[in-house]
A and B are shown apart, each in its own frame.
Chain A
Amino acid sequence: MSAPMRSSLLLLAVGGSAIALTLAWQHWTRPAIIDAERQLQASQLLAVLPAQSYDNRPLDSALPLPAEQPQHSKVLAAYRASHGTSPTAIVLVSQVQGYAGPIKLTIAIAADGRLIGTRVVEQQESPGLGGQIADPQSGWLNQFAKHGLGDRWAIRRDQGDFDQLAGATVTSRAVIDAQQEALRFFDQHRSQLLGASTHE
Chain B
Amino acid sequence: MNRFCLLITGLAPLLGATGTVTHALAIAACMWVMILLHQALLGPLRASLSGARYWLASLLLLAALGSCLQLALRAWALPLAQTLGFYPALICLQCLAVDMLLPTAGRWRHLLRHLSGLLLTCLLLGAGRQWLEAFAGMHLAHLPSGGLLVLGVLLALYNQLCLTLTRRQGKR
Binding site for B on A (CB under 8 A): 6-8, 10-11, 14-15, 18-19, 21-22, 25-26, 29, 32-33, 36-37, 39-40
Contact = CB atoms under 8 A, between A and B. Distances in A.
B105 interface: no
8 contacts: A15-B57, A18-B63, A25-B71, A29-B74, A29-B75, A36-B75, A39-B78, A40-B79
A14 B68 contact: no
Nearest to A19: B64
B53 A11 contact: yes
Interface stretch (B19-27, B44-52, B106-114, B144-152): B44-52
| Most central of B50, B60, B75, B79 by chain A CB within 10 Å | B75
A18 B64 contact: yes
Interface string B37-76: 0000000010011100100110011011001100110111
Given A14-B61, A22-B67, 11 more contacts: A6-B48, A7-B50, A11-B57, A14-B45, A14-B57, A21-B64, A22-B63, A25-B68, A26-B71, A29-B71, A40-B78
A32 B76 CA distance: 7
A40 to B, nearest CB: 5
Contacts of A33: 71, 74-75, 78
Interface residues of B, number: 20
Closest 10 CB pairs of A and B: A32-B75, A18-B64, A36-B78, A29-B75, A18-B60, A14-B57, A25-B68, A33-B75, A22-B64, A29-B71
A18 B78 contact: no
Nearest to B67: A22
B60 A29 contact: no
Contacts of B76: 32, 36
Nearest to B76: A32
Nearest to A40: B78
Contacts of B49: 7, 10-11
A29 B68 CA distance: 9
Nearest to A37: B78
Interface of B: 45, 48-50, 53, 56-57, 60-61, 63-64, 67-68, 71-72, 74-76, 78-79
B39 to A, nearest CB: 15
A197 to B, nearest CB: 36
Residue of B50, B60, B61, B76 with highest tally of chain A CB at under 10 A: B60
Contacts of A15: 56-57, 60
A7 B57 CA distance: 10
Contacts of A19: 64
Contact of B68 (A8, A10, A21, A32): A21
A10 B78 contact: no
Contacts of B67: 22, 25-26
Which of B48, B71, B72 is the most central at the interface, judged by chain A CB atoms within 10 Å of its CB? Answer: B71
A2 to B, nearest CB: 13
Nearest to A4: B53
A40 B64 CA distance: 26
B41 to A, nearest CB: 9
A99 B72 CA distance: 38
Nearest to B71: A29
A182 to B, nearest CB: 28
